[in-house]
Amino acid sequence: MTDHASGSERPGHIPAVEDRWLLVAVAGLLSFVAMLDMNIVNVALADISEGLHVSAATAQWAVLGYQLPVVALLLPVGRWLDGVGLRPALLAATGGFTLCSALAAASPWAAWLIAARIGQGACGAVLFVLMPVLAMRAVRPQVRGRAMSVPATLGPLGAVAGPAMGGLLLDQLGWRSVFLVKIPLCLLALVVAWKAMPRDGRLRRPDRRSSADTALAATGMTVLLLSLTLASDASAWLLLTLAAVPPLWWWLRGPGGRPVAGVLREARLLRAHGAVLALAAGFAAMHYVVALHLQRDDGVSATTTGLTVLAFPLGMALAGPLGGRLADRYRPQPVAVAGAMLTSVGLLLLIPLGDTWSPPDVAWRLALAGIGMGLGGGPTQALVMGAAPPDRAATVGSAVQLARSLGFTLGPALATATWALAGADGGVRASLVLAAVAACLAVPLLALPGRRPTAIPEKTTDAAPAAPH
């Protein structure tokens, strides 16, 4: 990426002659919006059920209709984006996301709403993959840590802010407003991207072989995500994960999966992806257990519980910019390790609290864990994306997002199963131990030395053709 003359001809490349912080802001804004949509609809399900005259199970598909295509399409989207222009992909995905948001808000019946959410999820998958790539390519390598910290911090903040923002909108404006609130932000991002991004190629339609690979990967990931989501209510659903193995195995052995596995293996990125998954699972398990225990077992009000768990995103927001600056000065790896260690310490300190918790005791521990997550989020992203081959950045970015998404889903499922196995008396402590162990596992995964690839082929037999020189 240092050869600007030749690099500018590659699809999706932004010449890093100067730092385009406006595009980094777009990456952060769209990361926030895409993650916000993961959780903001949850609080409106009862109102959607009543407003559209459907059962609660049908209304749940307003959430699943978005989450399933996001996770199912991440890997195929990453492979596709490596061969198309960054600007047209961003404009198309943001425009589609905005249109589907408006259609969801205008839904006259449930089938309309679910179809709009599925379309929104497909566009969201493209945004999830594009945002770290956009942030990385918009700046010089010397300030990449700061740039990567923007979407890495704002994305999780969107996920955490979703329920609070959704509840406020629901009380004041009704359930349709939770779909409309994102539209002004998307329109702003569209205008900025249209004016600030250089023309860098065209979109291309996936060929028949790519479509078949996409179907295999999407089927396997959909079954896997469904099993993990349903396992939060009954751990027996974890057995459904076995049904995801055949399609994912066939995909991994085929022309779509081999290049993905190859680039992760050759670039020594598997450990970093494991660390991302472990931290996400630890955070999600902790968040699930703390919120449930405070309200159900300790009788804390919903407002106090919300303010208590807000300590985590506040700590994350404060530490995010600092983590990026430290990564640019001292290298991403030590900062990422330090962040994972702080997160682990915060979660470990929750374990000896005992049966009766006070919100302040919980809040400062969550703030410490949030500071660690914010400190290490951007550097971890920079560490991974910096090791990616230039022509495989979207593929690596999609794998990172998949690891994080699976961690967010896996954490509550494992916490539920652990709580059930440990029983009513020791369930909370056992689930918190699980969350802390998951976070601790990320420390050696990030700390162990890895080496950059010596040579990764620019082309594979199924890769997209390079732009003409």
Between 238 and 312, the more confident residue is 312
Q: Is the pLDDT of residue 209 over 70?
A: no
Q: What is the pLDDT of residue 454?
A: 41
Whole-angstrom distance, CA of residue 20 vs CA of residue 428: 46
Q: Of 388, 380, 382, which is closest to residue 268 (Cα–Cα)?
A: 388
- Residue-level pLDDT at 348: 92
Over 70: is that where the pLDDT of 464 sits? no
Task: Choose the most confident range, by mean pLDDT, from 4-18, 95-109, 297-311.
Answer: 95-109
Compare 189 and 242 and report the one with higher pLDDT.
Answer: 189
280 vs 462 pLDDT, higher one: 280
At 11, is the pLDDT very low, low, confident or very high (cuts 50, 70, 90)?
very low
Please tell me the predicted confidence (pLDDT) of residue 102. Answer: 93
Choice between 450 and 313, residue whose per-residue pLDDT is larger: 313
Nearest Cα residue to 20 out of 150, 181, 180, 212? 150
> How many angstroms separate the CA atoms of 302 and 296, rounded?
10
Q: What percent of the chain has pLDDT over 70?
A: 84
Residue 458 pLDDT > 50:
no
Identify the pLDDT of residue 170: 75
pLDDT of residue 344: 93
- Mean pLDDT throughout 254-259? 69
User: pLDDT band at residue 2, thresholds of 50, 70 and 90?
Assistant: very low
- Is the CATH number of domain 1-204 3.90.45.10? no
What single string gives the DSSP state of each residue in 263-323? HHHHTT-HHHHHHHHHHHHHHHHHHHHHHHIIIIIS---HHHHHHHHTHHHHHHHHHHHHH
**Burial of 270 by CB count in 10 Å (0-12 exposed, 13-18 middle, 19+ buried)?**
middle
Highest-scoring range by mean pLDDT, 191-195, 219-223, 237-241, 400-404? 191-195
| Crossing angle of the two packed helices 110-137 and 86-105, in degrees rounded to 10 | 150
List CB contacts of 406: < 8 A, sequence separation 6 or more. 71, 224, 225, 228, 277, 280
Using the predicted structure, report yes or no on whether residue 355 has a pLDDT greater than 80.
no
Q: Per-residue confidence at 256, pLDDT binned at 50, 70, 90?
A: low
More confident residue, 207 or 456: 207
CB atoms within 10 A of CB 45: 17
Q: What is the pLDDT at residue 99? A: 94
Residue % of the chain over a pLDDT of 90: 15
Mean pLDDT of 396-407: 82
pLDDT at 7: 37
pLDDT of residue 294: 77
Q: How confident is the model at residue 210 (pLDDT cuts 50, 70, 90)?
A: low
- Give the chain's radius of gyration (CA, Å): 21
Mean pLDDT computed over 223-232: 73
Position 6 scores a pLDDT of 37
**Average pLDDT in the chain:** 79
pLDDT at residue number 425:
67
Q: What is the pLDDT of residue 157?
A: 79
**Higher pLDDT residue, 433 or 460?**
433
The pLDDT value given to residue 207: 61
**Does the structural domain 267-449 have CATH classification 1.20.1250.20?**
yes
Confidence band of 461 (pLDDT split at 50, 70, 90): very low
At residue 401, does pLDDT exceed 80? yes
Q: Is the confidence at residue 261, as pLDDT, over 90?
A: no
Q: What is the pLDDT at residue 408?
A: 82
Q: Answer whether 0.85 is exceeded by the pTM.
A: no
* pLDDT exceeds 70 at position 194: yes
The answer on pLDDT for 453 being more than 70 is no
Give the per-residue pLDDT at 457.
41
Confidence class of residue 112 from pLDDT cuts 50, 70 and 90? very high
More confident residue, 308 or 122: 122
CB 152 within 8 A of CB 417: no
The pLDDT of residue 469 is 33
